[in-house]
Amino acid sequence: MRSEDLAVAPGGGGPRRLHVLSPAFFAGKHVRRLWPLALVVLARRQLWLIVAAVLVLLAVTTLEWLRRTYELEAGALRLEEGVLERKRRVVPFDRIQQVDLVRKPLHRLLGVATLRVETAGGGGSAEVDLDVVALAEAQALRSSLLKAKAAAAGGAEAGEGAEAAAEVPAERALLRLSLGEVMLAGITGTRAAAVLAVLGPLSQLTDTFPNLSEWLLRRFNPEAVTPTTPAAVVVLVVFALVVWLGLAAASSVVTDYGFTLARLGGDLVVRRGLLERREAVLPMARLQVVRVDESLLRRALGLASIRIQSAGRAGGEDRTASRLAVPILPRSEVNRVLGELLQGAAPVPRLLAPPPAARRRTVRRGVIWTVPPAAGVAIALWVLSRPATPLALLLVALGGLGGLAAYRSLGHARGGGFLYARQGVAIRVTTVVPVAKAQSGSVRSSLFQRRAGLATLHVDIAGGGPTPKVVDEAEGKAEELLQVVLDRSS
C-alpha cells in the first residue's frame, strides 16, 4: 500500500513495516537503557568486544523491526510486535483521541517522523508509537486516522468503506506567533524566573574568577582600572540582565518556535518547536476548561496567555494542557481565540464582584501575612539601632494593599451555558467552564469564611489540573451557583 493510498482508504494492503532506518532508532533506545553496560564495553577498549556488541545490537533491533508491523483494518489500527513474546494491540478508531507527529533533529535530517496515537482514557500501555516512518507516510497515515475517527464518531457502519468516511475539512489557522512574540513570551513568562533560579548559583563564579569583573569592565570602559567603580557595577548589571533575558528568550524559542494554533474539523492542532518539531491534536469534544493567565508584567504590556485543560487519561496526568497552551498573545485577541475554543463563550462578560465582607477578609488576610516578616525586620533594625517602626508599618500597609488588590481580582459571571471565575494578584487567572462539562460541584467554607457569611464554590471537571473555583462569594450566591452547575442550566 502506497503512502498516498493511506490518505484515501484506511483499510487494505496488508500489514506494513516501519521505515528501514527504524533499527537505528531502536538501537539508540537500547543504548540509553543499557548505558552502564555500554560504558563497560567501551572501557575495555577491546575491538572484538565492541564489534561483537554492535553486531548483537544490530541483530536484535533488525529482528524487532522485522517483527513489528502495523495495519489499518476495518474499524481499528492494529500493531503487532515482539520477538520472543508476540504482542498484538488493536485500537478502535472511535477510541482514538490524539494523533501527534514528533520530529527531533535527527528525524528532520533523515526525513522521518514518529507517529503517536493516544486513546480515550488510556494509560501509557494504551498508546501506539510508530517510530519511525517516512514523513509523507506519517502525514498520510495521520490524515487517514483522523478521517476514520471522524467517520466512527459520526456513526459510520462497520462495513462502510473509506470512500463513505467523512472528509476532513481544510485546516484553518487561528493564531501564529512570530519569532519576536515567542522571545517575548520567554522574557515575560515563568521561563525568566526558572532561568534566574539556575543563574543564581552561577553568580558565585565571580569568586572563582576574580578578574571576570575587571575583564568585562575593560571591554566596555578601557579607562577603568578596578571592578569596584560605579561604571563596573553598571556593566556587570547590564551583562547579567542580558544573559538572563537572553537565556529565557532562547529557551522559549527552542520550545515554541513557529507556534501555530489551527482548527482541523473538530480537532485543535498545535505545531511548535525549533530542534524538535511537535504537532499535537486535541478533539474539541475533550476540551474541559480554558484559562486566561495575565501576570502583572503582561497586564502592563497588554498581553496574556491561554491554558487548555482537557479530559485526562486514566493515568491522571494530562500532558495535553502543556502541549496545547498558547504561550502569549495580545489581550485584544483573547476573546477571538476563546470564541474559537468554546463556541459562545466570548466575549467574557462583566464579572460580578464579591460582597464587601470578602474585601474585609482579603485585606485582613494580607495584613496578617505581613505581620511576621514585618516583626522580623523591626527586630533586626532595633538590634542594629536603626529606626524600625516606619519600615514595619510600611510592610503591614503593603500587605493590606495586596489584600485589596486580591479582592479587586475576584469575580464571577454566568451565562450562555458558561461559568466564569477570576482570582489572583501576581498572576490573574480567568477560568471559563462549560457548565455541561461539569462532573460535580461543592460549596466549602472555612471557619473564618463562615463568620463572614462567605463560601467558595468548587467545580469538578474531568481531567487533571486545578479545580475551577468561585472564591469568597456570599453563601447564598454560592449555593445558587452550585445549583446552576448541578442542573447544567444557565
pLDDT in tens, 445-477: 999 999 999 999 999 987 767 889 999 999 999
pTM of the model: 0.76
pLDDT in tens, 398-437: 888 988 999 999 999 998 899 999 999 999 999 999 999 8
| pLDDT at 93 (0 to 100) | 85
Split at pLDDT 50, 70, 90, the class of 201 is low
**108-122, 229-243, 399-413, 428-442: least confidently modelled range:** 229-243
| pLDDT at 153 (0 to 100) | 65
- Residues ≥6 apart with Cβ < 8 Å to 353: 407, 408, 410, 411
Residue bearing the bigger pLDDT, 249 or 164: 249
pLDDT in tens, 474-487: 999 999 999 988 88
| pLDDT at 488 (0 to 100) | 61
The domain locations on the chain are 179-256, 260-353+410-487, 356-408
Mean pLDDT for 43-65 is 80
| pLDDT at 13 (0 to 100) | 63
| pLDDT at 283 (0 to 100) | 80
Q: How many degrees, rounded to 5, is the angle at CA 306 between CA 303 and CA 307?
A: 150
- Residues ≥6 apart with Cβ < 8 Å to 476: none
Mean pLDDT for 200-218 is 54
Element (H, E) at 40: helix 35-44
Residue bearing the bigger pLDDT, 304 or 75: 304
Split at pLDDT 50, 70, 90, the class of 259 is very high
Residue 332 pLDDT greater than 80, yes or no: yes
Tell me which residue has cell 456570599.
474
- Residues ≥6 apart with Cβ < 8 Å to 34: none
- What are the strands, taking DSSP E only, across 142-276? 172-176, 260-264, 267-272
Split at pLDDT 50, 70, 90, the class of 194 is confident
Residue 329 pLDDT greater than 90, yes or no: yes
| pLDDT at 162 (0 to 100) | 41
Q: What three-state secondary structure class fits 277?
A: strand
Name the average pLDDT for the chain: 80
Instruction: Provide DSSP, 85-124.
Output: S-EEEEEEGGGEEEEEEEE-HHHHHHTEEEEEEEETT--G
| pLDDT at 122 (0 to 100) | 52
Give 397-430 as a 3 state SS string: HHHHHHHHHHHHHCEEEEECCEEEEEECCCEEEE
| pLDDT at 165 (0 to 100) | 42
**DSSP code at position 470:** E
- Residues ≥6 apart with Cβ < 8 Å to 290: 306, 307, 308, 309, 338, 341, 342, 345, 431, 432
Q: How many CB atoms lie within 10 A of CB 76?
A: 19
pLDDT in tens, 125-156: 446 889 889 999 998 888 888 788 777 766 54
| pLDDT at 120 (0 to 100) | 60
